[in-house]
Amino acid sequence: MLENLEEYTEKLIEEFEAISKDAERVQKETLRSILEENASAEYLQSLGLNGKTDPESFKAIIPLVTHDDLEPYIKRIFDGDNSPILTGKPIPAITLSSGTTKGKSKYVPWNETFLDSGVQILHTAFAIRDRELPIKNGKCLSIVYLSAQSQTKGGLKLGTIASHVIGNKRYTEAMAAIKSEMCSPQEVISAPDFQQAMYCHLLCGLIFRDQIQLLEALFIHSIVQAFRTFEQVWEELCNDIREGVLNSRITIPSVRAAMSKILKPDPEKANLIHKICTGLNNWYGVIQELFPNAKYLLAIATGSMEAYLPSVRHYAGELPVVTNDYGASEGWVGTNLHPTVPAEFASYTVFPNCGYYEFIPLSEDAIACVDPKPVGLTEVKVGEEYEIVMTTRTGLYRYKLGDVVKVTGFYNSTPELKFIRRSGTLLSINIDKNTENDLRLAVVAASKVLAEEKLEVVDYTSHVDSSQGLGHYVILFEISGEASEEVLGECCNSLEKSFVDAGYTSSRKVNNIGPLELRVVRPGTFQKIFDHFIGMGASPTQLKTPRCVPPTSTKVMQILNDNVLNKYISTVFN
């Protein structure tokens, strides 16, 4: 533990205040440092940068790129070429993205500068959050799972961001110094079986229920998923606590051994938990009741994760839901410095020393330009939308992250960003262009129809169906109960009414696009999709539901098609 936590946290806040007040200078210094460290990199030399480190030369010489542009260089690193390809020093590890966005994982260079930035952001966020939501001498129920690391063809470590960061001893020691100790043993966190790990996380939380002050996960979906599981296994958990014997479903020897050290017979606690669970109305407030000293829930709850906020708030009761940090497999961006703001309105304050950031304007005037020029960190305008471009210490230069953000304000001289969506069109058939955010807003509108019947959308996805000639949008819902044919028909119409893109509505009116179709799938369908990705090696901690299923995801399409209960066709344009 740090000797004086209060002094340390105040120092962190002072340091961030200083860099946020002088963001433009810090950005120039950060770029200079990155380019000096990597001046010998083949990529920079081949483009003719010739050791220049000023922003003007850098932007004039180095092109904007996507992951596809850098893939040949990354493959050489992956295969074991340790020459200075993208960075001056050899890359020791490769990060594996979740692969749910486009149906396949990306490989991204990683080194410990990513960890350095992460620790700085997480420490600072904790220091600021602790002023309003203090945590003292408690434990944390952390719903995290560390996938096993492997090796690339060239002998580099290969794993998810979670395995590189959370699995790093330096990170765990740093974080243990400033926040509650995780209640789950390391053997549970790194267990090779996701379902067994989840059961044990829940059991550990109940064992230490009076000491739990924080519940956290990387994404809010993991907390929802954990308590949906809790609804099914709570009686077994109570029995384990009553008898002091771990359920036979846990078969991993190391996990059983670790759990035996903390699981002791406690009939009184088991009876109390049983009483709480049987007294709840449809599981409302179960988290608050089970963990009476918890201060808040912490997880990313913006972007596609907003869909799970109603569910997590149902489980949480009056406990605040706080969205935390903004980053990606490619690098860190910022953190939420306003923890008491509702998650759907949260913004992320950029740390100007964690990378060099540019922003491609997406206003109508900018899009009208053939080649809109990116602007610098301090040049963005409040209320405007931009696509983020990053330059990192891991060998990504002017890399288009693929995220669209809106500038909501400034913290001193560094901007605060609200995540809007992934860039690019999600659904398109003709001249229509609907984004991830357009789909989310349509689902929100349809959810209000279900809410009147005390039902909710458990999860959703979409795809374009052109199998019958005239293409149309297909939206797939898993819902929390049974709805009438009339209500689901109304949901279907609500979805189509919500797509206001002019290209879509005009194409529908002249029948160039067919009527939107709503398909309701069986309960547990999205869990099957989740299990499929886990079986393919994806990390449970990072996994996100694909909001549009790509044509390459044949297995996901099969799962969806095999579990359709009912289909409804929109009558909006009839």
The 3-state DSSP class for residue 189 equals helix
Q: Report the pLDDT value the prediction gives residue 121, as an integer from 0 to 100.
A: 84
Which amino acid, 314?
Answer: H
Q: How far apart are CA 2 and CA 287, in angstroms?
A: 30
Question: What is the token pair recorded at 538?
Answer: 């994806």
Query: Over the chain (574 residues), what is each successive 10-residue block's mean pLDDT?
Result: 64 90 97 96 95 95 95 93 93 75 73 81 84 85 82 84 70 63 88 92 96 92 93 96 96 95 96 96 94 94 85 93 88 91 92 95 70 92 96 95 94 95 82 88 93 90 86 93 93 94 87 92 92 79 84 88 94 87
Triad 433, 436, 441: Cα angle to 5°: 100
Where would I find the beta strands (DSSP E) of 315-382? 321-322, 325-328, 331-335, 348-350, 356-361, 375-376
CA distances from 235 to 275, 288, 397 (A): 11, 18, 53
Q: Report the pLDDT value the prediction gives residue 1, as an integer from 0 to 100.
A: 40
Q: Are 302 and 343 in contact (CB under 8 A)?
A: yes
Question: What is the token pair recorded at 181?
Answer: 């100790």
Q: Are 294 and 215 in contact (CB under 8 A)?
A: yes
The helix or strand, by DSSP H or E, that contains position 174, with its residue range, turns out to be helix 169-176
Q: How far apart are CA 545 and CA 458, in angstroms?
A: 11
What residue segments make up the domains of the chain, in order of their start?
5-112+327-422, 134-319, 436-569
The 3-state DSSP class for residue 157 equals strand
Q: How far apart are CA 189 and CA 145, in angstroms?
A: 5
Q: How far apart are CA 249 and CA 232, in angstroms?
A: 14
pTM tops 0.75: yes
Residue 549 phi/psi, 5° resolution?
A: -80, 120
Q: How far apart are CA 311 and CA 327, in angstroms?
A: 24
Q: Report the pLDDT value the prediction gives residue 365, as an integer from 0 to 100.
A: 66
Q: Are 302 and 346 in contact (CB under 8 A)?
A: yes
Q: Report the pLDDT value the prediction gives residue 328, as an integer from 0 to 100.
A: 84
Q: How far apart are CA 319 and CA 399, in angstroms?
A: 38
Q: How far apart are CA 144 and CA 221, in angstroms?
A: 12
Across-strand partners of 476? 461, 519
CA 221 to chain CA centroid, nearest Å: 9
Q: Report the pLDDT value the prediction gives residue 50, as an integer from 0 to 100.
A: 92
For 151, residues 6+ apart whose C-beta sits below 8 A from its C-beta are 157, 158
